[in-house]
Structure 1
């Protein structure tokens, strides 16, 4: 009898962290979806700057808490929050606040996925095919390189990059390390754009978020991607040559 009652409780306790994140995401999308926007930042910029000047530590704590929640619950507005970090705090220390907040939020998703999904879903992921399967195999064979790649390549959704490592047994320390440094280039670009929002607001314009795909910006990021992919390529070549 004890096994019959313990197993459902154990399963429920494993699913609870992820269930809370899903519930929080639904609530956040319903309640905050219309507020986490460029227009909200523009219309409240003077009040935000005044509060920052008079309560700097409180503003930093509130900003980082909101950013963690946005990432942890996959709410809309992560790009706006990054821009706000640059607008409120400048490129530095704004980029540090953004990096820390994004990494903490991503780690919460990682831990919830690891605790909630368990080995059953991990087995399903291992049995998958297509792009997901190739990424999983790449992580298994070249863990650090693949973890950096899925963070550096702009086309990999942030939520996917948060979940996949948890489902293939990546260690927490490696996940945190590669998340923090892997998102650094793109984060620095958007925080830099945010630092110039004062002039954008003055002109009545909207920020140019396509800057990440400008050759001068995208080129160095792709160079980092190539550097991260180099160990994978060398390993593949050695395998083909029988080294």
Structure 2
């Protein structure tokens, strides 16, 4: 990579960051991160979404994309907001589009600025690793999406340093984030149904139960792996 080419890439990255940051500064998107304010103005916001549905959807998708691409803490709040504003099902579609686009931007940035250089410089040392990723990379990525044992931004960043194809990264991300997205979107929807003086709605109980099941998956897999390991040792 020539010095001029690298400078062009840095300039492109700065423009991209500026564009995404502008979403927060120049649009009402940043207000969607404040759950307390959203709940206080829920009825007015829902009416506004109904009156201006397409602009609301586009703002929401671009917000989610920016939060993920810039690795800004707040993806959970935006997911809950989606469930509140768009319902538990359509919001998952909008979340998926925004999150997958944002993750892909970060993936491509990592590959564009560092991945190509690393792969070229250490091609011989990475040969065995690259072969493993070529054969099983999609399984690793899908597992890390379904079972979030690593921070979301790391699972977006590290694959860009490997030779995993872009299409593989996109479909594993899109598919793998659906269960968790639905759980939090449904929780946001369920929380919005609470009325003063009434009991806890069944939707909220179901949402919490679903989240509980998802959170137990890593623990269950850990115990399953340990059980298989113990069984293997006993047979030997």
Q: Same fold (TM over 0.5)?
A: yes
- Residue 41 (structure 2) pairs with residue 47 (structure 1): no
1:194 to 184, 188, 192: 188
Mapping of residues 197-236 of structure 1, within 5 Å: 197-200=191-194, 202=196, 214=212, 216-218=213-215, 221=217
Question: Unaligned regions of 5+ residues in structure 2, if any?
Answer: none
Does 1:120 find its partner at 2:114?
A: no
Residues of 1 paired with 2:214 and 2:114: CA distance?
37
SS at 2:33's partner residue? coil
Q: How does 1:111-150 map to 2 (within 5 A)?
A: 111-122=108-119, 139-150=133-144
Query: What is the distance in 1 between the residues matched to 2:15 and 2:178?
Result: 28
TM-score normalised by length of structure 1: 0.71
> C-alpha distance in 1, partners of 2:148/2:104?
19
- Correspondences of 1:94-173 after superposition (within 5 Å): 94-122=91-119, 139-173=133-167
Please tell me whether the aligned partners of residues 86 and 191 of structure 1 are also in contact (alpha carbons under 8 angstroms): yes
Distance 1:77 1:125 in 2: 36
- For residue 11 of structure 1, the aligned residue among 2, 6, 10 is 6
How far off its partner does 1:153 sit?
Answer: 1.8
1:91 maps to 2:82:
no
Q: Which residue of 1 aligns with 2:172?
A: 178
Residue 125 of structure 1 and its aligned partner are, at CA, apart by 9.1
Taking a change above 3 Å as real, the CA distance of residues 20 and 137 of structure 1, as seen in their structure-2 partners, is farther
Higher mean displacement: 17-26 or 72-81: 17-26
Structure 1 unaligned residues grouped into runs of 5+: 1-5, 129-134, 238-243
Aligned length: 215
